[in-house]
Amino acid sequence: MQEFSTKQPKAFYTRKVSINTAIRILNQNDIRVNEHQAKEILDFLYLIAKTYNLHEDNQRFDSRP
């Protein structure tokens, strides 16, 4: 009999957007930032995405009949 793992993968375990990519994208939108500022922005965006992902998971389980 096959067992299924209930272990969830870590959300955003590897960050795929580099600081240089973030700076380039922000510059294309007339937002000038240095490396420290870009890192802070990326940290904030990953935190929001992780929180949103957790919220979606909780809603899925809470909506069971």
Would residue 3 count as lying in a domain? no
pLDDT digits (tens, 9 = 90+) for 46-61: 888 888 867 666 666 5
Mean pLDDT of the chain: 78
Q: Provide the domain count of the chain.
A: 1
**Domain that residue 26 falls in:** 19-62
Would residue 27 count as lying in a domain? yes
**Helix, strand, coil content of the chain in percent (nearest 5):** 60, 0, 40
Specify the pLDDT at position 65.
55
- Give start and end residues of each alpha helix (H) in 1-65: 19-28, 35-62
> How far apart, in whole angstroms, are the C-alpha atoms of residue 58 and residue 14?
23
Specify the pLDDT at position 51.
84
Task: Report yes or no on whether pTM surpasses 0.85.
Answer: no
Q: Is the pLDDT of residue 33 over 50?
A: yes
Would residue 53 count as lying in a domain? yes
Would residue 33 count as lying in a domain? yes
Would residue 29 count as lying in a domain? yes
